[in-house]
Structure 1
Amino acid sequence: MISRVDASATSAAFLVQTDVVNWILLQEGSDITLIDGGYPGQESDVVESIRHIGGRPEDIRGALLTHAHVDHLGGLVGLSQRYGFDVYMDPVEVSHARRDHLQQAGPTDILPLAYQPRVLRWLAKVTPLGVLSRKGIADAKPFPEPLDLPGRPIPVSAHGHTDGHSAYLVAAGEVLVSGDALVSGHPISKIAGPQCISDAFQHDTETARRTVESFMMLESSVLFPGHGPRCDGSVAQAASRALDVS
């Protein structure tokens, strides 16, 4: 499913929602910025989504990463090599993306939950997509100064889920691309609507909750989350609800 927010007559932001993870396309004229890239096994889906909005993967001028978990970084590994674009992120997240270290849920984190049918169904979906991949992006780069990419994305520090997790304001600040700092659903979650992602996936839960608290200061009116559907309405209120239910 693809939903759209227009920023101007020639610029738009698109949320590409799948049943396991989301990514975002920013289109300005014919140029594209990609935010996140799904699992390794979703490379072709990313390309298809770009063609769906009338673009080509050759139009990607650069990619941004919210964080270096396999379901957000995985597709970018092959796509960046094939189409020759750079991948940028919070400076703290660079070493994680290069796989100098790994802050990602492993079998010991998931095993206590594996008795739940929804967790087993999720594992059945993501295993063939490459959930166990440990490939990184060797030439991952910190945000350049200035960050001049199609769609004019503005990084928002959102640490906690990983040490260098970043969110982004797009569509002139109307939309918050929240990554996994604030989601609206997840295959293993019983909750529908704005929420903090399961503690099993959090690197630093307390810092992650403070990040969600900081979102309560934003004036954005649309949430493009890393998991779950688009949420229309006050992002500040969505953040507050997430803290209440999580």
Structure 2
Amino acid sequence: MGAPTVTQVADGTYLVGGTEVNWTVLTDGDAVTLIDAGYPGDEHLVVESLRSLGYRPEQIAAVLITHAHIDHVGSLPGLLRRGTFPVHTSEQEARHARREYLEQATTLDVVTRLWRPGYLGWSLAITRAGATKHVRVPEARPFPGPGPLDLPGHPVPVPTPGHTSGHTCYHLPEAGALVTGDTLITGHRTSPVSGPQLVTPFFSHDPAATLASLDVLEPLAADVILPGHGPAHRGPLKEATALARERAAATR
């Protein structure tokens, strides 16, 4: 696991690449909003990404979760030992983060696909990053109120159930950007295509609902996609969602 890749997409808005997954950093003055947090082994990469922007974990105003899969919440227990901050997501997903239930692809789901291109290298990398660990975030709580949230970046939660039952995207109107988590991604080592797309269906709890959630994203005012996997994407959101639908239809 090398250094994180930090890409500025707007003032105070950064997409960071860790181990096969991204997180987003929103800065304002001496405070930071962190959206998602990588695998358990990405803790030092999250800290390094903050330090590269001139911040420390103690300056995190809040962590927002798109969804509670281990690649998006894995480093939170370690970060919470470094600083005190709230962790927010939807009411449904807060229960998921606390591990009152679990919606996640199993080891068997992955093992049966290791023969496919990209899966072996990806699975080895995420295993080293702690993908098989049991991580729960008992601190996870529902949003304190309707958006925009009073946090750096003023993110607006957008419910997008499907990938998980309580998945949330975050609209950043001031930056003209949308943090899409795993509802809409732009690349994955196991995918043969690049650009806007859905995750492979077995990764999602309800693939049909994930597809339907694109209807929620399409009208939002944003021309930058900050995905959970893959690089930032610039272009009309309507075109991105249309391409994702087209690709999903082609693989049925």
Counterparts of 2:31 and 2:59, CA distance in 1: 5
How do 1:200-239 and structure 2 match up within 5 A?
A: 200-239=202-241
Secondary structure at 1:177 match in 2: strand
- Stretches of 4+ aligned residues off by more than 4 angstroms: none
Cα RMSD between the aligned structures?
1.3
**AA of the residue aligned to 1:161:** H
Report the counterpart of residue 182 of structure 1 in structure 2.
184
Counterparts of 1:162 and 1:26, CA distance in 2: 24
Report the counterpart of residue 136 of structure 1 in structure 2.
136
Say if 2:62 is the partner of 1:67.
no
In structure 2, the CA distance between the partners of 1:19 and 1:98, relative to structure 1 (3 Å rule), is: closer
Does the 8 Å CA contact 1:13/1:171 hold for their aligned counterparts?
no
**AA of the residue aligned to 1:91:** E
Does the 8 Å CA contact 1:32/1:60 hold for their aligned counterparts?
yes
How do 1:78-93 and structure 2 match up within 5 A?
A: 78-93=78-93
Secondary structure at 1:151 match in 2: coil
How many pairs are equivalent? 242
**AA of the residue aligned to 1:203:** H
Does the 8 Å CA contact 1:220/1:236 hold for their aligned counterparts?
no
Counterparts of 1:145 and 1:181, CA distance in 2: 23
Does the 8 Å CA contact 1:5/1:171 hold for their aligned counterparts?
no
Q: Once the 2 structures are TM-superposed, how far is the Cα of residue 198 of structure 1 from its aligned partner? A: 0.6
Secondary structure at 1:37 match in 2: coil
Report the counterpart of residue 98 of structure 2 in structure 1.
98
Report the counterpart of residue 25 of structure 2 in structure 1.
25
TM-score, normalising length: structure 1: 0.95
Report the counterpart of residue 4 of structure 1 in structure 2.
8
Structure 1 segments unaligned to the other structure (5+ residues): none
Secondary structure at 2:118 match in 1: helix
Given candidates 157, 161, 166, the residue that maps to 2:168 is 166
Counterparts of 2:10 and 2:224, CA distance in 1: 12
Counterparts of 1:136 and 1:232, CA distance in 2: 34
Q: Once the 2 structures are TM-superposed, how far is the Cα of residue 32 of structure 1 from its aligned partner? A: 0.2
Structure 2 segments unaligned to the other structure (5+ residues): none
Does the 8 Å CA contact 2:19/2:38 hold for their aligned counterparts?
no
**Bigger shift: 211-220 or 179-188?**
211-220
Q: Once the 2 structures are TM-superposed, how far is the Cα of residue 117 of structure 1 from its aligned partner? A: 3.8
TM-score, normalising length: structure 2: 0.92
Counterparts of 2:175 and 2:158, CA distance in 1: 11
**AA of the residue aligned to 1:48:** E
Q: Once the 2 structures are TM-superposed, how far is the Cα of residue 135 of structure 1 from its aligned partner? A: 1.4
How do 1:25-44 and structure 2 match up within 5 A?
A: 25-44=25-44
Does the 8 Å CA contact 1:180/1:226 hold for their aligned counterparts?
yes
Report the counterpart of residue 157 of structure 2 in structure 1.
155
Q: Once the 2 structures are TM-superposed, how far is the Cα of residue 57 of structure 1 from its aligned partner? A: 1.4
Counterparts of 1:152 and 1:193, CA distance in 2: 27
Q: Once the 2 structures are TM-superposed, how far is the Cα of residue 5 of structure 1 from its aligned partner? A: 3.0
Secondary structure at 2:73 match in 1: helix
Does the 8 Å CA contact 2:18/2:38 hold for their aligned counterparts?
no
Does the 8 Å CA contact 1:80/1:87 hold for their aligned counterparts?
no
Does the 8 Å CA contact 2:58/2:82 hold for their aligned counterparts?
no
Does the 8 Å CA contact 1:161/1:204 hold for their aligned counterparts?
yes
**Bigger shift: 75-84 or 96-105?**
75-84
**AA of the residue aligned to 1:213:** D
**Bigger shift: 178-187 or 77-86?**
77-86
Q: Once the 2 structures are TM-superposed, how far is the Cα of residue 161 of structure 1 from its aligned partner? A: 0.2
Does the 8 Å CA contact 1:176/1:235 hold for their aligned counterparts?
no
**Bigger shift: 16-25 or 154-163?**
16-25
Secondary structure at 2:225 match in 1: strand
